[in-house]
Amino acid sequence: MNLAVKDIRHNMGRFGLTVVGIGMLLMIVMGMGGIYRGIIEDATLLIDKVGAQLWIVQKNTRGPFAEVSRLPSRVSDRAAAVPGVSRARRFVYHTVQRLHHGRPLRIAAVGLDWPGDRGEWLPLVAGRPLARNHFEMIADRTLGLGLGEQVRIGKETFLVAGLTRGMIDSGGNGLAFFTVSDAQTIQFDLAGEAVRLERAARAGRAARIDLSRTQPSLLERAGAESTAIPALSPPAVSAVLVSLLPGADPLAVASTISGWPDVSVHTRENQRQLMLAGPVEKAKLQIGLFRILLTIISAIIMALIIYTLTLDKLHDIALLKLIGAPNRVILGMILQQALLLGALGYGIAYLFGQKVFPRFPRRVILTQEDLFNLGIIVVVISILSTALGVWKALRVEPNEALS
């Protein structure tokens, strides 16, 4: 006769509610671990997906994700001429927030060096890569945009040509991919009055120099668009992505480029470390501490539950001792109940989590390693939580059954 099962059947309702409560608590612990993994995955997702071995950024910066970086567009031509380089791509990254159909739309905008990079490497679930140099975008599904939808950002309207899944930044914002020129247009968009005042200021400065009297055309150029003035550099990019030829030494190429006085170079692994040690470090620590606290709380609650269940059975335990049952039988009953409580709670946590976690606003990633480690922790907690109940059971005298 299994005393643990008999006792559970006798108190089925209370035991069932206890299992559900423990399961909900373990689901939170499981979810915290999944959010922790999700933060790391989101922070390094674009770095891994874009497929660049080296990142050229502004001198002495940790851009383009951990820090703002501004780089002349022509750096890509210089990088492409370095021995060992297969391809150099311009890259733009910034965050914008606009109203779309009356709701805030926060976008992590990524500029691709079209036509060399049309976004073929993106995990498209619908639509196609960028086919035109202007007015098209690829959006992640988390942005809530539909395929073929027209989205107005700044002064331009963009067609959603493709949809991706799971492409978000470290802050949980959905990624949207544009051409470099469109991403720069969005980034440096100014109100009409600001543009007019800037052109008037340029014209005023040009009028104050003697050269404008001999060359009146300078005044006309000063009032034109910035891109039409040769003396003004084109809009800056955030970084230049470098892909290497097979067999090329990344450190040797990085050493060559880092000798340039106006840029810094980071390898792919360096970019990952910059993200994990920078923008997401505190979030990782906070989630990790919450996970530890919840695990400790789960252990305390399970210990109190086992102790309470033992208190309810003190008369039965005394009766077992009176008829000659050895202590190992009583200890086995308490331990089996604790293990069953932990196992069922873990199962409920996993099943409920599979239904609930996909609805979270942030990505929740449950790895086999984390699930296995949590299972081991639950077993250890179940065993340790019996200590208080065992201590109370061993102190029961057989004659208490007659009282």
Question: pLDDT band at residue 157, thresholds of 50, 70 and 90?
Answer: very high
The angle at the Cα of 12, spanning 6 to 16, to the nearest 5 degrees, equals 130
Q: Quick: pLDDT tens for 29-40.
A: 899 889 888 888
Q: Quick: pLDDT tens for 204-249.
A: 665 566 555 555 555 555 555 554 444 455 788 999 999 999 989 9
**Cβ neighbours for 299, distance < 8 A, ≥ 6 positions apart:** 381, 384, 385
For residues 87-99, average pLDDT: 92
Three-state DSSP at 279 gives coil
pLDDT higher than 80, residue 320: no
Q: How many C-beta atoms lie closer than 10 Å to residue 44's C-beta?
A: 20
Residue pair 386/306 in contact by the 8 Å Cβ criterion: yes
Tokens (6 digits) for 11: 């108190």
Structural Rg of the chain based on CA atoms? 32
Tokens (6 digits) for 186: 């969005």
Model's pTM, two decimal places?
0.78
Residue 388, Cβ density class (10 Å: 0-12 exposed, 13-18 middle, ≥19 buried): middle
Q: Quick: pLDDT tens for 161-200.
A: 999 998 998 888 999 999 999 999 898 876 666 656 766 6
From 137-141, 251-255, 281-285, the region with the lowest mean pLDDT: 281-285
pLDDT for position 228:
46
Question: pLDDT band at residue 93, thresholds of 50, 70 and 90?
Answer: very high
pLDDT higher than 60, residue 376: yes
For residues 302-309, average pLDDT: 80
User: What distance, in Å, lies between the first and last C-alpha atoms of the chain?
Assistant: 26
For residues 19-27, average pLDDT: 89
**Cβ neighbours for 196, distance < 8 A, ≥ 6 positions apart:** none
What stretch of H or E contains 257? helix 250-258
Q: Quick: pLDDT tens for 249-270.
A: 999 999 999 999 999 999 999 9
**Cβ neighbours for 68, distance < 8 A, ≥ 6 positions apart:** 61, 238
Separation CA 327–CA 395 (nearest Å): 11
